[in-house]
Amino acid sequence: MSLRSFLSDVVYSAYGRRLIQQAKGRHPRHIAIMLDGNRRWAREAGFTDVADGHRAGAKKIADFLSWCNEADVEVVTMWLLSTDNLGRAAEELSPLLKIITDVTDELAAPHTPWRLRIVGALDLLPPEVAKALSAAAERTEGRSGMEVNVAVGYGGRQEIADAVRKLLLQHADEGTSIRELAKILDVDHISEHMYTSGQPDPDLIIRTSGEQRLSGFLLWQSAHSEFWFTEAYWPAFRRVDFLRAMRDYAWRHRRFGS
């Protein structure tokens, strides 16, 4: 190791410890993250195949989850593929789906502590992909570790439409009329049918790559979320970036509309 690299590591480590100290006192229970910028990272790194960016991004996921685990986060939601992404060309989409399936299998491996939940419209995915993702999640049932939502084929509007559809079907089976349902319907009824039902709403939503918009991510659940944006592409996202997000969250005063 060169002297420059050694000094860089020392400074980086010291800065990380300072960020940890500054973030003490309050941490998010639920972090949601938009893993954005894989393709742009690949192009700027000189790769001709954007799938190399997705592969690099997939390798970053285990690190991110370990950082969240160290910070006592209870739930993590990672957006890996949107419903809009399903319209990409087959030569890009097929490798991407394979990468997502592989990384989900890795997260479900016996030596990992995570409890996986697949959130998204699985019926929009190729059947073999949907089956593999569901099987991976099933293998983690009963674990006591951090809950990890893997958002694949996910769209916020699609989720709300699916929730309302499930609600209507449930009450139709129970014999409730539309007029009767209209009298009792409230926010909690719909929340019970969202993909993330039973979990706290995200306290902090992170988006990488410099984009500053939700793009339909967790539209229902993000009413009181804090947002943190970074210029870093997802494959280049570092622990120090994560710690900055945690520090900024700890410094914010959340009013929840009051």
Does residue 88 have a known ligand-binding role? yes
Does residue 139 have a known ligand-binding role? no
Does residue 82 have a known ligand-binding role? yes
What span, in angstroms and rounded, lies between the C-alpha atoms of 99 and 104?
9
Report the relative pairing of strands 147-154 and 204-207 from DSSP bridges: unpaired
Catalytically annotated residue among 36, 201, 203, 241: 36
116-151 burial code (b ≥16 CB/10 A, e <16): bbbbbbeeebeeebbebbeebbebbeeeeebbbbbb
Question: Is position 69 annotated as part of the catalytic site?
Answer: no
Does residue 83 have a known ligand-binding role? yes
Does residue 43 have a known ligand-binding role? no
Does residue 215 have a known ligand-binding role? yes
Does residue 29 have a known ligand-binding role? no
Helix (H, G, I), strand (E, B) or coil at 202: coil
Does residue 226 have a known ligand-binding role? yes
216 φ/ψ angles, rounded to the nearest 5 degrees: 90, 10
Catalytically annotated residue among 85, 102, 162, 248: 85
Does residue 97 have a known ligand-binding role? no
The alpha carbon of 130 is separated from its chain's Cα centroid by a whole number of angstroms, namely 18
Question: Is position 201 annotated as part of the catalytic site?
Answer: no
Show the tokens assigned to 152. Answer: 């694949």
- Tell me the three-class secondary structure of 71-123, residue by residue: CCCCEEEEEEEECHHHHCCHHHHHHHHHHHHHHHHHHCCCCCCCEEEEECCHH
Does residue 214 have a known ligand-binding role? yes
Phi-psi category of 159—alpha, beta or left, where left has phi over 0 and alpha has psi -120 to 50? alpha
What span, in angstroms and rounded, lies between the C-alpha atoms of 205 and 77?
9
What span, in angstroms and rounded, lies between the C-alpha atoms of 31 and 248?
13
Does residue 213 have a known ligand-binding role? yes
Does residue 40 have a known ligand-binding role? yes
Does residue 13 have a known ligand-binding role? no
Asked if 28 and 203 touch (Cβ cutoff 8 Å), the reply is: yes
Does residue 36 have a known ligand-binding role? yes
Residues marked as binding for Mg(2+)?
36, 226
Residues marked as binding?
36-41, 54, 82-84, 88, 207, 213-215, 226
Residues marked as binding for substrate?
37-41, 54, 82-84, 88, 207, 213-215
Catalytic residues: 36, 85
